């Protein structure tokens, strides 16, 4: 019962807080803004709408990260760069001041390992690569993929670790990633309870433990924009922004 009251009081405190300003983040490094190539923006108008709302929320830059998941989204470096050029041109045509770049969110599968071997990864900042693993169980090839990424000079960032519920039992699962020099990226929307109370709870624990280095919107659609806005009153988000641990602003794209 105590935990229920504690959780209820924390939620009430969130609602009573003034919203934080996302200018303090500035750079969104996980989103799905390129039109028609994954489960994110459906068409160009949708892309522009999402970008305008991100800009309104305080972001000045986005490194958008379309899925590369060979069983579902067979995107390539060429496809992503071509779509990036098209959206950049549209932003220029409309005189929208927003700095858009692209990398990818790689699913840790055999195709990903092949891309590492070929040195054909889209990266950002200082050779950072965003990757995700299965939501059902820890990917069997994850350790090998991390090792080979690092051997090739890449710096792996694990996308939304708070959503891998099979890790929720112990923070040591996340510590193992940090011990391997894998940075952790939290979805800001996880702080709203969008993915359930357990994901919200572990998100806040990871922030409390100082384990989060990057924050992403993982924006696919307008529903996510609304959730990002709602997260601005979360006490843990404020704590993360004030901690000095967040490294989004360090990302310099090419």
- pLDDT at 6 exceeding the cut of 80: no
For position 17, what pLDDT does the model report? 77
Query: Is the whole-model pTM more than 0.85?
Result: yes
> What is the rounded average pLDDT of the residues 8-12?
54
**Phi-psi domain of 114 (left: phi exceeds 0; alpha: psi -120 through 50; beta: other):** alpha
> What is the rounded average pLDDT of the residues 170-195?
98
pLDDT tens for 126-137 read 999 999 999 999
> What is the rounded average pLDDT of the residues 42-59?
98
CATH 3.30.420.40 fits 26-250, yes or no: no
- pLDDT at 152 exceeding the cut of 60: yes
């Amino acid at each position: 019962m105590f935990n229920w009251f504690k959780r209820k009081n924390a939620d009430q405190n969130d609602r009573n807080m003034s919203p934080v300003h996302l200018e303090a983040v500035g750079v969104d490094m996980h989103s799905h803004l390129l039109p028609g190539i994954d489960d994110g923006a459906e068409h160009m108008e949708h892309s522009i709408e999402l970008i305008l709302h991100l800009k309104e929320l305080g972001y000045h830059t986005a490194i958008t990260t379309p899925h590369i998941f060979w069983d579902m989204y067979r995107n390539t470096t060429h496809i992503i760069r071509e779509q990036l050029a098209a959206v950049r041109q549209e932003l220029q045509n409309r005189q929208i001041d927003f700095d858009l770049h692209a990398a990818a969110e790689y699913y840790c599968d055999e195709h990903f390992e092949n891309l590492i071997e070929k040195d054909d990864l889209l990266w950002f900042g200082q050779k950072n690569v965003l990757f995700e693993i299965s939501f059902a169980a820890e990917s069997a090839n994850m350790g090998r993929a991390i090792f080979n990424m690092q051997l090739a000079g890449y710096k792996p960032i694990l996308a939304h670790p708070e959503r891998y519920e099979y890790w929720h039992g112990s923070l040591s699962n996340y510590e193992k990633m940090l011990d391997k020099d894998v940075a952790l990226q939290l979805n800001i929307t996880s702080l709203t309870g969008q993915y359930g109370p357990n994901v919200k709870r572990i998100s806040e624990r990871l922030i409390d433990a100082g384990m989060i280095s990057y924050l992403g919107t993982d924006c696919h659609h307008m529903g996510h924009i609304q959730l990002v806005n709602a997260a601005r009153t979360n006490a843990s988000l404020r704590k993360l922004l004030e901690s000095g641990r967040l490294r989004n602003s360090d990302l310099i794209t090419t």
